[in-house]
Amino acid sequence: MMRSRLFAMALVCVLAAPLRAQDAADSSQRPLVQTLQRRLLVVVQRTLGATDDQMRQLAQVNRKYQEERRALNQKDRQARQTIRTEVLRDSLADQNKVARTMDELVDVQRQRIEIFTREQRDLASFLTPVQRAKYATLQEGLRKKVEQLRQRRQENGLAPAQRRRLRQMRRMGDTTS
């Protein structure tokens, strides 16, 4: 479990925010995260069959889009939390607030697609289509792993009844959790 968490942290550092993600990590874990990050870079390079120059360019592209992604992720989390709070209020939920927030989520997704499109154009200048596809798969795996860890962390602070309710919402296809 701890190893899985550290691996996910390393993935975040390498794929989502290569230089600044460590700021959020506990300082006692930084050496371990740095070690995992170096190992993961080797795995990414091997998986893509990338040269050292391609890896350098990949890091530059990641840095280029990192702040935009971070801001979008923050908006996404805030919107989902707002929706979750309202949905848990059942009949007392503010319908207008939920509608506005759902519109915000749609806008966040549109912006994500725009970033992905620009990023793919940049990656196409030095990665082959197969390398780009492999990298996109790695990124998607990262997003899923991070979401799983976030859901577990979120559940840890809930009472058993709230935890069951949240899991039930997830099973029904609710993406706000």
Statement: residue 6 has pLDDT above 50: no
Measured distance CA(97)–CA(66) in Å, rounded: 29
Q: Which residue has the tokens 């154009």?
A: 121
Average pLDDT over every residue of 95-106: 96
Give pLDDT tens digits for 12-71. 554 444 434 434 444 566 787 788 778 888 889 999 999 999 999 999 999 999 999 999
Residue 58 CB: number of other CB atoms within 10 A?
Answer: 24
**pLDDT of 89:** 85
Under the phi-then-psi rule, with left for phi > 0, alpha for psi from -120 to 50, and beta for the rest, what region is 26?
A: beta
Statement: residue 80 has pLDDT above 50: yes
Q: Which two tokens stand for residue 162?
A: 């709230």
**pLDDT of 111:** 97
**Residue closest to 5 by CA, chosen among 23, 29, 28, 27:** 29
DSSP string, 51-65: -HHHHHHHHHHHHHH
**pLDDT of 29:** 66
Give pLDDT tens digits for 124-141. 999 999 999 999 999 888
Cα 32 to the center of its chain, rounded Å = 21
pLDDT grade, residue 98 (50/70/90)? Answer: very high
Q: How high is the mean pLDDT of the chain?
A: 81
**pLDDT of 173:** 58
